[in-house]
Amino acid sequence: MRIIKARDYDEVSRKAANIIFSVMTEKPDCVLGLATGSSPVGIYKELVRRYEEGDLDFSKVTTVNLDEYKGLDREDPQSYAYYMRENLFSHVNIRSEKTFLPDGREADSQKACEAYNQILRQAGRQDIQLLGIGHDGHIGFNEPADHFPKETHCVDLAESTIEANARFFESREQVPTQAYTMGIQNIMAAKQILMVANGKGKAKILKEAFQGPITPQIPASILQLHPNVILVADEEALSEMESC
């Protein structure tokens, strides 16, 4: 694993965007695995800025997102489809038919998951997969469990995840309790994985994930087995990791 230290969130975002920029420059028709939440917002702003300056072209890019809430329409402001349009897709020249997320509108979980697995197979391996990390070590919506889920599946969100996501909703009661998410196998298929983290609150889990045992109780720990992982994090987030 390669660790890149940054001063703060803004520098984390710039350095992570540099890595994605390099992938897109080397392979204009790359497959980008994308994430949502607060961590990637700065990255997407930086990529939009570079597009506006004429340095990036999204016209041949395919994107596959990690997850989507079950039960939310794509036009719902809290859906990840809406998030992606607001933060990236509507600001660049990407083709909408080449942007993919699980279909939160599909009530049949098996149907939704099988459909997204087929999309992932057709898209091919992600050239780079962007990840954040939850305080409990979840990646995507792969929560702590007794096994590592392989492919796209429907997950009951942990109480800690619901609490963490409540800030994006008007009330806690509005937070969906289920989501469709790529499985660990889907994530590990990426040629390169880019994780971003910032703040003291992520220090403990980063140490456990990357310097502790590999266990499905800390889903991110599986990344220790991936041959090409880059962690971009600020000094506070890295403060408990040895040799950082």
Question: pLDDT, tens digit, for every residue of 40-53?
Answer: 999 999 999 999 99
Please give the average per-residue pLDDT across 98-104, as a whole number.
98
Q: What integer pLDDT is reported at residue 15 of this predicted model?
A: 98
Average pLDDT value over all residues in the chain: 95
Active-site residue set:
67, 136, 138, 143
User: Is the separation of the CB atoms in 203 and 237 below 8 Å?
Assistant: yes
Nearest CA to 192 among 4, 11, 28, 32? Answer: 32
Q: Tell me what pLDDT residue 153 has.
A: 97
d(CA 108, CA 147): 23
Scan for tokens 């392989």, then name that residue. Answer: 150
pLDDT band at 244 (very low <50, low <70, confident <90, very high): low
Q: CA nearest 1: which of 237, 194, 144, 190?
A: 194
Q: Percent of the chain, pLDDT > 90?
A: 90
Q: What is the pTM of this model?
A: 0.94
pLDDT score at 182:
98
User: Distance between CA 131 and CA 140 in Å, rounded?
Assistant: 7
The arithmetic mean of pLDDT across residues 35-43, rounded, is 95
Instruction: Report which secondary-structure segment, H or E, holds 134.
Output: none
CATH architecture of 2-197+212-234: 3-Layer(aba) Sandwich (3.40)
* pLDDT of 136: 94
The pLDDT confidence band at residue 164, using thresholds 50, 70 and 90, is confident
Percent of the chain exceeding pLDDT 70 equals 100
Give tens-digit pLDDT for 209-241: 999 999 999 999 999 999 999 999 999 999 999
Q: Is the pLDDT of residue 173 over 90?
A: no
